[in-house]
């Protein structure tokens, strides 16, 4: 495996394509001697690129990116679309036996049987477990939950959904960040999930306000892809397209065939232009749009900035090429913002002037779309929808004054984000 060089940070867009964050604090790694940082390159807007094949590649790729922006209603179902409407608030009640409650409290990672009602519709054979890492809490706190509506037996269906993901928002003082950010991702033309709000009860005890995030599963694939029978992988901590990073890709849906992951890992060890190396195994225009949208929404908590909080789908309808799907928007827009990336795929693009140029153009395009949207209206609607629920939340993790201040700060940050990003990235 090639050794990646150590590079100095800069606010230039060029280093939006360089390595962002060191490994997680608990990740083992060798102790290395300090390396003198090289001179910072100029912002990408000031760089000189030699015309030729690279410029033609970048132009073709920009056109391909724009052509791949999916219409929002291509595979939407009115039922589930309404379920994740920005102004929706759902009532979710979980009822456990004493034994199931004890298991959920003591273990948490194992599915336990439960009767679940969603807006009054009962699912008697559901399964529930706790979820999270830094947001992990037990039943005396405010646990995030995963629910499978038919885990322990047959039963009714919920607008084409088989599972729910309920996040406790304990890392988000605005109590609305995921709903806002995922709505914006979709509005920007990216293949993201949706989110709305929910109020949760466990054994008739009120647990308060949660974000209700659309689960990434086989039914999500059916709603999003013409060929939903491919393989979906989730990036856990340290997941990458390297020998060391491959074990951290967790199979989510489909067969256990990891051919696409292995093929990309092998391609990244080859020499040559980025498109030549990876174009047969990665949907390159989609990856660049995903990356650009991460930057445009301050979503640098996942791949390719941190080696987690993302999914990849090997789409049979596109030759098995990998699409990237964001996950974990609870820390979007959080300062300090860094443009360093950690993923090996991003590093390969960084080293290719044509790919770097195409990414810069994609960021410009995404920011133009951003500024054409009523983003402040999205923020206003999310705040207004959740506002009356905050006072009724007995487990709200922040004082009301902290929530109000955080909401004001987030609104202002979003309003100024395109201009800030252009300055930081040298556009």
> 3-state SS of the chain?
CCCCCCCCCCCCHHHHHCCCCCCCCCCCCCCCCCCCCCCCCCCHHHCCCCCCHHHHHHHHHHHHHHHCCCCCCCCCCHHHHHHCCCCCEEEEEEECCHHHHHHHHHCCCCCEEEEEEECCEEEEEEEEEEECCCCCCCCCCCCEEEEECCCCCCCCCECCECEEEEECCCCCCCCCHHHHHHHHHHHCCCCCCCEEEEEEEECCEEEEEEEEECCCCHHHHHHHCCCCCCEEEEECCCCCCCCCCHHHEEEEECCCCCHHHHHHHHHCCCCCCHHHHHCCCECHHHHHHHHHHHHHCCCCCCCCCCCCCEEEEEEHHHCCEEEEEECCCCCCCCCCCCCCCCCHHHHHHHCCHHHHHHHHHHHHHHHHHHHHCCHHHHHHHHHHHHHHHHCCCCCCCCCHHHHHHHHHHHHHHHHHHHHHHHHHHCC
Q: What is the pLDDT of residue 114?
A: 97
- Calpha distance 334→177 (Å, rounded): 10
- Taking residues 113-134, report their average pLDDT: 93
Nearest to 378 by CA among 83, 208, 166, 176: 176
Structural domain contains residue 40: no
Virtual torsion, Cα 184, 45, 62, 194, nearest 10 deg: -10
> Based on the domain organization, do 84 and 69 belong to the same domain?
no
Residue 40 pLDDT > 50 = no
Structural domain contains residue 115: yes
According to DSSP, the β-strands at 163-167 and 144-148 are: antiparallel
Structural domain contains residue 399: no
Among 89-93, 287-291, 331-335, 402-406, the least confident range? 331-335
Cβ–Cβ < 8 Å for 426, 12: yes
- Taking residues 382-394, report their average pLDDT: 93
Q: What is the pLDDT of residue 53?
A: 47
Q: What is the pLDDT of residue 159?
A: 85
Q: What is the pLDDT of residue 80?
A: 75
> Based on the domain organization, do 241 and 276 belong to the same domain?
yes
Burial zone of 326 (CB within 10 Å; 0-12 exposed, 13-18 middle, 19+ buried): buried
- Taking residues 344-368, report their average pLDDT: 94
Span 166-214, pLDDT tens digits = 999 999 999 999 999 999 999 998 889 999 999 999 999 999 999 999 9
* Mean pLDDT of all residues belonging to the chain: 84
Q: What is the pLDDT of residue 43?
A: 45
Residue 329 pLDDT > 70 = yes
Residue 15 pLDDT > 50 = no
Q: What is the pLDDT of residue 132?
A: 81
Tell me whether the omega of the peptide bond preceding residue 375 falls within 30 degrees of 0, making it cis: no
Among 20-34, 38-52, 351-365, 412-426, the least confident range? 20-34
> Based on the domain organization, do 108 and 92 belong to the same domain?
yes
- Phi and psi, residue 27, nearest 5°: -80, 125
Structural domain contains residue 410: no
- Taking residues 59-85, report their average pLDDT: 61
- Taking residues 156-172, report their average pLDDT: 91
Q: What is the pLDDT of residue 68?
A: 57
> Based on the domain organization, do 143 and 238 belong to the same domain?
no
Q: What is the pLDDT of residue 60?
A: 66
Last residue within a domain, chosen from 191, 219, 247:
219
Among 203-212, 249-258, 333-342, 402-411, the least confident range? 333-342
pLDDT band with cut points at 50, 70 and 90 for residue 52:
very low
> Based on the domain organization, do 178 and 257 belong to the same domain?
no
Residue 242 pLDDT > 50 = yes
- Calpha distance 318→21 (Å, rounded): 31
- Calpha distance 244→328 (Å, rounded): 23
Last residue within a domain, chosen from 353, 370, 387:
370
The structure's pTM equals 0.82
What's the domain range around 299? 14-22+46-73+226-370
- Phi and psi, residue 179, nearest 5°: -60, -45
Residue 59 pLDDT > 90 = no
CA 27 to chain CA centroid, Å, is 21
- Taking residues 250-279, report their average pLDDT: 93
> Based on the domain organization, do 204 and 231 belong to the same domain?
no
Q: What is the pLDDT of residue 245?
A: 96
Structural domain contains residue 365: yes
Q: What is the pLDDT of residue 156?
A: 86
Structural domain contains residue 7: no
> Based on the domain organization, do 273 and 177 belong to the same domain?
no
- Taking residues 318-343, report their average pLDDT: 86
Among 90-99, 107-116, 153-162, 347-356, the least confident range? 153-162
Count of structural domains within the chain = 2
∠ CA 119-123-126, rounded to 5°: 120
Cβ–Cβ < 8 Å for 151, 210: no
Q: What is the pLDDT of residue 13?
A: 37
Q: What is the pLDDT of residue 27?
A: 37
Burial zone of 368 (CB within 10 Å; 0-12 exposed, 13-18 middle, 19+ buried): exposed
Last residue within a domain, chosen from 219, 245, 267:
219
Cβ–Cβ < 8 Å for 31, 22: no
pLDDT band with cut points at 50, 70 and 90 for residue 64:
low
Residue 77 pLDDT > 80 = no
> Based on the domain organization, do 245 and 284 belong to the same domain?
yes
pLDDT band with cut points at 50, 70 and 90 for residue 265:
very high
- Phi and psi, residue 10, nearest 5°: -155, 160
According to DSSP, the β-strands at 163-167 and 310-315 are: unpaired
Q: What is the pLDDT of residue 301?
A: 86
Cβ–Cβ < 8 Å for 325, 215: no
> Based on the domain organization, do 251 and 147 belong to the same domain?
no
Residue 315 pLDDT > 90 = yes
> Based on the domain organization, do 121 and 180 belong to the same domain?
yes
> Based on the domain organization, do 68 and 90 belong to the same domain?
no
> Based on the domain organization, do 245 and 114 belong to the same domain?
no
Q: Which residue has better confidence, 122 or 70?
A: 122
Structural domain contains residue 214: yes
Cβ–Cβ < 8 Å for 68, 285: yes
Structural domain contains residue 397: no
- Calpha distance 167→94 (Å, rounded): 15
């Amino acid at each position: 495996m090639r050794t990646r060089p150590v590079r100095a940070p800069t606010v230039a867009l060029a280093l939006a394509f360089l390595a962002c964050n060191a490994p997680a604090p608990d990740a083992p790694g060798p102790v290395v001697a300090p390396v003198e940082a090289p001179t910072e390159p100029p912002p990408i807007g000031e760089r000189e690129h030699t015309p030729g094949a690279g410029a033609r590649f970048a132009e073709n790729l920009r056109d391909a990116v724009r052509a791949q922006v999916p219409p929002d209603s291509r595979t939407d179902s009115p039922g589930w679309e309404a379920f994740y409407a920005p102004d929706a608030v759902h009532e979710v009640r979980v009822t456990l036996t004493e034994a199931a409650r004890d298991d959920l409290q003591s273990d948490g990672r194992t599915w336990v049987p439960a009767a679940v009602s969603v807006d009054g519709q009962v699912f008697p054979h559901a399964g529930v477990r706790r979820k999270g890492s830094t947001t992990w809490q037990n039943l005396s706190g405010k646990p995030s939950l995963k629910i499978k509506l038919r885990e322990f037996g047959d039963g009714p269906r919920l607008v084409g959904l088989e599972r729910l993901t309920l996040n406790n928002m304990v890392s988000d003082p605005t109590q609305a960040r995921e709903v806002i950010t995922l709505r914006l991702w979709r509005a920007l033309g990216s293949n993201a999930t949706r989110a709305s709000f929910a109020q949760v009860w466990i054994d008739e005890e009120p647990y308060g306000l949660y974000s209700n995030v659309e689960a990434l599963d086989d039914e999500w694939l059916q709603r999003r892809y013409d060929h939903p029978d491919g393989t979906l992988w989730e990036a856990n901590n340290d997941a990458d397209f390297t020998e060391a990073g491959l074990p951290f890709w967790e199979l989510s849906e489909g067969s256990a065939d990891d051919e696409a992951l292995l093929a990309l890992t092998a391609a990244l060890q080859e020499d040559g232009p980025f498109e030549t190396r990876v174009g047969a195994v990665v949907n390159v225009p989609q990856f660049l749009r995903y990356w650009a949208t991460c930057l445009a929404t301050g979503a640098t908590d996942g791949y390719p900035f941190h080696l987690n909080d993302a999914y990849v789908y090997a789409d049979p309808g596109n030759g098995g090429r990998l699409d990237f799907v964001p996950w974990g928007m609870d820390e979007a827009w959080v300062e300090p913002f860094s443009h360093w990336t950690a993923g090996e795929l991003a590093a390969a693009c960084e080293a290719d002037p044509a790919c770097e140029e195409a990414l810069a153009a994609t960021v410009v395009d995404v920011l133009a779309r951003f500024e054409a949207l009523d983003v402040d209206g999205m923020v206003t609607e999310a705040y207004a929808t959740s506002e009356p629920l905050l006072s009724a939340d007995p487990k709200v993790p922040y004082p009301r004054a902290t929530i109000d201040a955080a909401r004001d700060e987030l609104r202002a940050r979003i309003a100024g984000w395109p201009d800030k990003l252009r300055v930081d990235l040298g556009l």
